[in-house]
A and B are shown apart, each in its own frame.
Chain A
């Protein structure tokens, strides 16, 4: 029935701590089609990393807990029902992850070639020689010069950007259908960031791999993603095509996020549009909209009840009370537009 590669429905994840239950993800729904690149944008603590870890079964229970009515369908199968063995098969072969810090995601005592071959041999029944050839090919694919020599080197002999390429090569080892990149460029310099983003884009196009990019920086994904989902305080607040999000944001948080980045044409030291305050602690999630306490136009209803999604277009939806007919009555369309565009 499902035509999506990945279909997350109403995912809820909590962590149990000394002070109580932290509701890190509070009902996230997300769909990814084969070969598509979507970006999940949100600040730290918005639940974007927890969501991606849940997809790969990397949430330790306890202290974590995935609530019962959550569903994650991968090609129609609910992967939350997987056994440990099925998970192992799924990870690497069907879905792979690229972590934020290339300095810690490689084993420092193991040769790079061996680390790549290990994941190839784990999922394919081929000889060591074939695996080695495949590893060389992979390193070539991620633009590492002299892959034959590089295979026999240790991670410390690689720079940050090169290591991230190796991590990508490992993720690609079994041609996964889905690749999750968790802030793949945050730890890297801006010139290296451009190289890595270009590489990821090439790979996505060539191998027809679906990519979920997780980032806190909207600017990074502008050229790469087709769809963007914006998360805040454990919930999705807006999702849509990349053009819709950038040119016609329908949630105050999204538009504030876009304005918070200094424009190159901006006046020097002019005041940046900021989002005041700090995101809520999800140990006591707010009753209403998660963004209410920082929103420029917070209304009484925002603190009482969380808003439902309003569909702006077929692909574009946002969860904000400003889209409620009653808001139009009180405010008028022009004012709502001004609030949403953060003018």
Chain B
């Protein structure tokens, strides 16, 4: 897997997203994150809840204004866009949401939910054409046209998530941010949705930013994976490399915690103890944020923030151990 000659689709440079919390200070949800997403690939982003992965995805799509840094899409700067850029970018970049129960407006029919994006961009002016396309999209995600006149609450979680996918596809996007699209679904349905996403990627040449906390699914779907911890990317590598050869102490602990669906292996498995909990991201000072839970932590870790460095070809890690 060499990405050297691949075209960069999304370029994120030193992106920061801070939230001001009244009377408490600043929550550094995403703190100085840089990465590239190549055309046609899937970049996985994993981490525990509160690590900033969802904020990262939403900030890239312009749902939150960027505090500092730059986002480029196809070489065009789309940071806090000016008026004219907005529709251009929105038509190309879409999102699939986490909670299939909250992401569909309960008062709208499936048809009008899918049609919303088409109306905004004036795709398919004629009602018959639009209807035809909606049926096509429903078929593409494994539903049928009888479902078009139904309301979201009549569907199961997996079916709703597929409606959400059809909605995103309605404007023919190139890039989709998948924000934990499977974490609210049953195991048997997760595989359905993941297979569908892979199939769509192959057929339509989509690029994904796949955000999740389920490491095994992320490995399955991603070409490269970034691990986030409290607003920083601590490790970034191709998915086979990352899972076979994790370098950062946090990644190692995270991987060892994955349950193995095999009773003997699971009983004899060694879980690397990860003591304590994720700290508070409000008003945190310098230093490696994992230091308080890391058994290799030294004085340096507490005072100096490690930078993301290439330790092997295509394998980046942010840890003082590798200096």
Contact = CB atoms under 8 A, between A and B. Distances in A.
Nearest to A190: B257
B263 A246 contact: yes
Interface stretch (A68-76, A146-154, A264-272, A327-335): A264-272
A135 B215 CA distance: 36
A216 interface: yes
B258 A190 contact: yes
A223 B259 contact: yes
The CB with the most chain A CB atoms within 10 A, among B157, B223, B240, B257, is that of B257
B260 A219 contact: yes
B191 interface: yes
Contacts of B198: 269, 271
A279 B156 CA distance: 9
The CB with the most chain A CB atoms within 10 A, among B219, B239, B262, is that of B262
Interface in B161-215: 186-192, 194-195, 198, 213-215
Nearest to A160: B49
Interface stretch (B5-13, B68-76, B267-275): B267-275
B277 A43 contact: no
Interface string B256-298: 0111111111110101001001100000000000000000000
B261 to A, nearest CB: 4
Contacts of B265: 222
A161 interface: yes
A147 B307 CA distance: 38
Contacts of B271: 194, 198
A195 B214 CA distance: 16
A74 B220 CA distance: 44
A219 B195 contact: no
Given A43-B189, A268-B240, A271-B198, A191 B254 contact: yes
Contacts of A256: 188
Contacts of A264: 216, 219, 243, 258, 260
Contacts of B195: 271-272, 274
A246 B243 contact: no
A43 B188 contact: yes
A253 to B, nearest CB: 8
A190 B215 contact: yes
B194 A223 contact: no
B253 interface: yes
Interface residues of A, number: 46
A161 B278 CA distance: 10
Contacts of A59: none
B188 A275 contact: yes
A276 B263 CA distance: 27
Contacts of A261: 187, 191, 216, 261
The CB with the most chain A CB atoms within 10 A, among B217, B262, B263, B265, is that of B263
Given A43-B187, A191-B48, A264-B243, A274 B192 contact: yes
Contacts of A222: 259-263, 265-266
A118 B210 CA distance: 45
B221 interface: yes
Contact of A218 (B219, B261, B267): B261
B253 A219 contact: no
B52 interface: no
16 contacts: A43-B186, A43-B189, A44-B157, A45-B156, A160-B49, A162-B277, A223-B259, A260-B187, A261-B261, A262-B217, A262-B220, A269-B198, A272-B195, A274-B192, A275-B192, A279-B156
Nearest first, the 10 A-B pairs at minimum CB distance are: A223-B266, A43-B186, A262-B220, A219-B261, A189-B48, A260-B191, A194-B257, A222-B266, A219-B259, A272-B191
Interface of A: 43-45, 159-162, 189-195, 197-198, 216-220, 222-223, 242-243, 246, 256-258, 260-264, 266, 268-276, 278-279
